[in-house]
Chain A
Amino acid sequence: MKFAYYPGCSLEGSSREYDESLRAVCEALGIQLVEIPQWNCCGASSAHQVDSFLKIALPALDLLKAEEMGLPILAPCAACFLNLKRAKKALLEDEKLKTKLSSLFGKNFQGKTQVFHPLWVFSNSELIERLSGLIKVKLSELKLVCYYGCYLVRPPEITEVDDPENPQLMERIMEALGIQVINWAWKVDCCGGSHSLLNPHLVKKLSKRLVQKAKESGAQGIVVACPLCQANLDLYQENQNMPIYYFTELMGFSFGIKDAKNWFKRHMVKPSLG
């Protein structure tokens, strides 16, 4: 299995532990990642607010680069994942837009590059079997809730999630690691996203409440699959002492990868593992 890897800007900055744990876990699973050369930002939470063409054109250029590599894209950030998939859908459905972008980039755009988030890859039955064989450290004492936030699930016609109100992708992976996954009602509620930059009080309000709800359901930690969710829940909780794990960190820790302790060092709330 081989992917054109699109880390995205957060994974080069505040979420390096997500990048490092994902790379380590892929290596253990025999998944090859080739970083897309010269990838550019997908427009994140901003392009769509300013210009509808920009919202498609920025990720489309990354789709084109992956197309030239002849590989499907692996995008670990929820916003990158959604923007890339949205651009792909627009290119398939809008012939005029495809022609415009093809002439703008001077390339013949196919627009058929597949886009995956690692949750979709790891939760398929073949990979679940493969990862079950790699477990060295048992995590069966750990009680966690899985949190998806927005862009891994919404809008479902783009994300192609199993169930937009009660997804099970992360649960399947965590259960394969032996973790006790607790069901809760808040897994697709918003953490406040990029409001952390100008309106942190809004993020604080939402993130604090999510952590509180996780605590009430008996969880010892929250598992996430998005860099913004991790940062917001980790930074804006209030003395609630709730560790926020990337699902890849728990996989890596369970595989006995030694680097795991370095990933956890960058968390605000120190995980109870390692």
Chain B
Amino acid sequence: MTFKEVFPELFKCYQCLSCTLGCPLAEEMDLKPHKLVNMLILGKDKEVLNSLTPWICASCESCQVRCPNGVPLSELMDQIRQKGIKERIYKGKASALPLVFLKEIKKRGRIHEISLILGLKRLVGFKVSMEELRIGLRMFLKGKLRMRPTKRVSSESFKRIFEEVSF
């Protein structure tokens, strides 16, 4: 199924650009939100799935809330990312965060920030920039970082949630 078949609301778009004008990260995107909607209407799902836009989007939901025609842009972004991950279409490092994050939840039940960062580094490489080093050190010195992981949380119900999904 193409996105326009799943989201018939796409056809209500009259290209007013409210989404793009209110998007805090539009200038970083290769496909601006209004253009992305247009591409989906034209059935160019593949181009959208290969674009950086869904991975630049911070899910702030401004576009969806401000759209005068009720185009569910945030929901669309989620569906594009989900499809990109499931079908291994998007290979950039941006998709690393949700995947590592969920593996951490599955393992510990909660997020321990240092373990999460180590998990991310394992995936995208251990190179640390001066900026990251500076921020990490400041956080450490201020007592912001919790060194010891919290107790693992799990239950039969919790395990069953993860049996229902694959990623």
Report which A residues bind B (CB closer than 8 A). 9-10, 12-14, 16, 38-41, 43-54, 57-58, 61, 64, 104-107, 149-150, 154-156, 164, 188-190, 192-195, 197-200, 202, 206, 231, 235, 265-268
Contact = CB atoms under 8 A, between A and B. Distances in A.
A110 to B, nearest CB: 16
B21 interface: no
22 contacts: A9-B113, A41-B105, A43-B105, A45-B97, A45-B101, A49-B95, A50-B102, A50-B167, A52-B79, A54-B161, A106-B156, A149-B60, A150-B60, A154-B60, A154-B65, A155-B61, A189-B24, A190-B58, A194-B97, A195-B58, A198-B120, A198-B124
B60 A14 contact: no
B117 A197 contact: yes
Given A14-B146, A58-B161, A190 B120 contact: no
B132 interface: yes
B59 A268 contact: no
Nearest to A190: B60
B111 interface: yes
A5 B115 CA distance: 24
A202 B94 CA distance: 12
B61 A61 contact: no
Interface stretch (B8-16, B31-39, B136-144): B136-144
Contact of B145 (A14, A43, A105, A106): A14
A107 B142 CA distance: 44
A46 B98 contact: yes
B82 interface: yes
Nearest to B25: A202
Contacts of A164: 65
Given A190-B24, A235-B135, A12 B58 contact: no
Contacts of A197: 97, 116-117, 120
Contacts of B145: 13-14
B113 A14 contact: yes
B87 interface: no
Contacts of B167: 50-51
A61 B94 CA distance: 28
Nearest to A188: B62
A48 B78 contact: yes
A267 B58 contact: no
Given A49-B81, A58-B161, A193-B58, A265 B105 contact: no
Contacts of B131: 200
A52 B82 contact: yes
B60 A193 contact: yes
B146 A12 contact: yes
Contacts of B42: none
Residue from the set A47, A49, A198, A266 with the largest chain B CB neighbour count within 10 Å:
A49
A13 B108 CA distance: 14
Nearest to B166: A51
Contacts of A54: 102, 161, 164-165
A107 B156 CA distance: 12
Nearest to A195: B58
Given A57-B164, A266-B143, A46 B101 contact: yes
Residue from the set B61, B132, B139 with the largest chain A CB neighbour count within 10 Å:
B61
A50 B99 contact: yes
Residue from the set B85, B98, B156, B160 with the largest chain A CB neighbour count within 10 Å:
B98
A213 to B, nearest CB: 12
Nearest to B144: A14
Interface in B70-114: 74, 78-79, 81-82, 85, 93-99, 101-102, 105, 109-113
Nearest to B23: A190
B60 A57 contact: no
A12 B149 CA distance: 10
Contacts of B156: 106
Contact of B110 (A40, A57, A195, A206): A40
Nearest to B145: A14
A12 B153 CA distance: 14
B106 to A, nearest CB: 10
Nearest to A48: B78
